[in-house]
Structures are given as C-alpha cells and as structure tokens.
Amino acid sequence: MPFTDLTKFGGAFLSKFECSQLPHSLLDHISFVDTPGVLSGEKQRTERSYDFTGVISWFAAKCDMILLLFDPHKLDISDEFKRVISSLKGHEDKIRVVLNKADQVDTQQLMRVYGALMWSLGKVLNTPEVVRVYIGSFNDKPVNEEAIGSMGKGLFEKEQDDLLDDLIDIPKKACDRRINEFVKRARAAKIHAYIMSHLKKEMPALMGKSKTQQKLIQNLDNEFEKVQKAFRLPAGDFPSVDHFREVLGHYNITDFEKLKPRMIQAVDDMLSHDIPELLKNFRNPYE
C-alpha cells in the first residue's frame, strides 16, 4: 500500500495509523482518510506525540479532495485547526467545507451560522475566492423537519446530491489532477534552480562567506523579489519564504550548483510542448 513514506513521522504516529479494507465497488476507485478530531480549548495544551500538521500536509499533497467538517454548535477554529488549514496551503482547490448536523437549528439560526462560518473561514484561508460549503445532515437518520421545514429538507437533499456528485467525479478527474501536480512540481523545481543559482552568485569568492550567507537568509524575501524580476517569474509559484529560510540555514550556499540553461530549456520545452501533447492524446477511461 502507498504509505511507506509515512515512516518518517516515527513509530508514535505509525502506532496510531490504521487501515481498513472492505469489499465494495466504490472503494476500487476511492480511498477515504479520516483524521482524528482537531483539539480545541484546554486540550490544545496536550502535545501530540507526532507531527500532526506534517502528516496532514503529506496527505493533502497526495489526495484529490479535502473535506473540512463543522457543525452548527462548533464553529470556532482553534489554534490547532488554524495550523492544519495553513498546512493545506497550495491545495486550496481541493478544499470543500461540510456544515453537518444543520438540522439541529432552525432556518433563521442556520443563516446566522452559515454567515459566521464563512467569516471565520475567510480569516483563515486568506483567499478571495469563496470556498464551497455543503449544508446538510450527512448521516443515516431522517432529517429533523420540525426545525428546518419542508423547504430546508429539499435544500439538504440537493446539497447531499451535489456532494455525492463531487465525490463520484474524483476518479474521472484523478489523471488530470496528477498531470497538474506534475506541472506544478516542474515549475517549482525550475524556480528552485533559479533561487539556488542567484544565492550562489551573491556569495563572495574568498572572505566573509558566513556573514554574507546570514545576510542573504535574513533578507530572503528581497532576494526572491530580485529573482522574480530578473527572470519574469510569477510570484505565486515561489515557495514559502519562512520555510525556505528555515531549511536554508542547514546548508552552505557556496556548495550550490550553478544554473544550467540547457536544463532550464528542457523543462520549458516539456511544459510548452510535451505536456500539451500528452493532454491532447489523453482519453479519460471513465468518460
């Protein structure tokens, strides 16, 4: 099974990681990953025995859809939940929000709950696009019509159908998403090469290498801007400055490779010719 790479999170995580296999035709095409509940309140002070957000980020990079679950009585986004959502950066297109147990409040309260949820998510996700929110009561119990009325029941049924359609479409879009992820990684590798080469050029030949490296790391955001302007690269494709700065501190910049234009040209040729040709010849087996 494709979980070998999770060993890097240690035995403390692996002892809590469980898999279940069931004989169902749906599971031939889809795997569901259920995370433990996010801690809130006093429980946040209890440290997990493994890198929780790191594991979430690992799965986020490999999955096709991410469902964030809320219910009307637990709309608060705790500090740990904020860290989890932050670890999903770069995968915003995969995120869907589910407001579950919505039949526990009446229609008027539900409007207020929905508004409060959108406001809270807007502060955390930091994207101008409105995230898709599915409203309903997603379980095998009958909907509480006394609270939501007949119109609410109809809304819940449409929302449930939309969510199921979204899930059913996952296998159809999986190959497209893999190609898109490959393109994203290729663009990231290209920008990484430009950054490495630029930093190496900024280093002195003989004296003051240590001080220059510290200065470059401290002013890394300015160095990113120089690379962006010099090669006319999109700012959105650049990595996180803070994470890059943290990792860069463990390396010696003078050991970096010089930029090889031939290799950059090979990546450009692949992105402009090979990938479009691949997409042109691609036939979706589920269509």
Write the CB contacts of 52 (distance below 8 Å, at least 6 apart in sequence). 80, 84
pTM, full prediction: 0.71
Share above pLDDT 90 across residues of the chain, in percent, rounded to a whole number: 15
107: which 2 tokens?
């229609």
Residue whose pair of structure tokens reads 């069931």 in the numeric block = 22
Domains of the chain: 4-168 (3.40.50.300), 175-281 (1.10.268.20)
- Tell me the one-letter amino acid at 275: I
Residues 104-124 pLDDT 10s: 888 888 888 888 888 888 878
Cα separation values, 250 from 118, 195, 239, 253, Å: 40, 16, 17, 10
Residue that wins the pLDDT comparison between 278 and 283: 278
Residues 169-200 pLDDT 10s: 887 777 788 888 888 889 999 999 999 999 98
Please tell me what DSSP assigns to residue 17. Answer: -
Residue 282 pLDDT grade (very low, low, confident, very high; cuts 50, 70, 90): low
pLDDT value of residue 110: 84
pLDDT value of residue 226: 92
Share above pLDDT 70 across residues of the chain, in percent, rounded to a whole number: 92
